[in-house]
Amino acid sequence: MTNLSIADLPIEIDKNMLAEPVGSNDVKQISHFDQNIFGVNRSSLIKYLLSEYPQKAWMFKRNNLITGIALGRTGNKYHHIGPVFAANIDDAKKLIASAVNELKHQPIVVDVMFDKKDLISWLHENGFTIQRKFVRMYKGKNLFPGDIGNQYLICGPEFG
C-alpha cells in the first residue's frame, strides 16, 4: 500500500457525477457491502465511522443496492479518506472526489492499494504526493481474502 497526502487542492469533477451522502438507514447495507469486499465482518468499525463522521460518508447506489462506499475520519494531522470500495475505478475516483471536495483547504491522507496504479496516477495528477509505503502481511493461508479488485483505499493500517 501507498500512503498519499494532499494539502490544499480540490479535485474538479462534474457536480452531476458526485456520490450521494450516506443516510442513517444505510448502515446495515454498507456493513454487508464492506464484508463482501473486505472479507470479514467489520460492522462495529463501519458503525463507528458512520456515527462519528457521518459527513465523511459517501456512496453509490444502483437499483437500490450499494455499489460503492467512501468513508472517512478525522486524525491528528489529516482528514483520512478510506475505506473506499467500488465496482470500478471510475466510481472509486468519483467517491474520492466527493470526499475531497467536502474537505477543501484541509490536509487529507489516503492509503491506496499498491496494485491501483491508475488511481495512484490520478491522485498524483490531483496534487497528492507519496508520504510512505507499507505492506499488509498475513501468515499461513489467507482464509478471508475478500475482493481485492474492488478495494481502492483502506481505512488505515491500524484498521485495515
Q: What would the pLDDT profile of 44-53 be if each residue is shown by its tens digit?
A: 999 999 999 9
pLDDT exceeds cutoff 60 at 105: yes
- Average confidence (pLDDT) over 60-73: 92
Q: What would the pLDDT profile of 121-133 be if each residue is shown by its tens digit?
A: 999 998 899 988 8
44 falls within a domain: yes
CA distance 44 to 121: 33
160 falls within a domain: no
41 falls within a domain: yes
65 falls within a domain: yes
Cα 102–Cα 46–Cα 54 angle in degrees, nearest 5 = 30
Range name among 7-21, 49-63, 113-127, 138-152 with the lowest pLDDT average: 7-21
Q: What would the pLDDT profile of 71-102 be if each residue is shown by its tens digit?
A: 999 989 999 999 999 999 999 999 999 999 88
pLDDT exceeds cutoff 80 at 3: no
CA distance 100 to 84: 12
- Domain count within the chain: 1
22 falls within a domain: yes
Q: Show the cell assigned to 52.
A: 462519528
Q: Show the cell assigned to 99.
A: 470526499
- What range does the domain containing 108 cover? 2-138+145-154
159 falls within a domain: no
Cα 131–Cα 133–Cα 134 angle in degrees, nearest 5 = 140
Q: What confidence category does residue 145 fall into, taking pLDDT thresholds of 50, 70 and 90?
A: confident
At residue 124, the pLDDT reads 92
DSSP 102-154: TTTTS-EEEEE-TT-HHHHHHHHHTT-EEEEE-----SS--S----GGGEEEE
At residue 144, the pLDDT reads 82
Q: What confidence category does residue 18 fall into, taking pLDDT thresholds of 50, 70 and 90?
A: low
In this structure, what CATH number is given to the domain that contains residue 16? 3.40.630.90
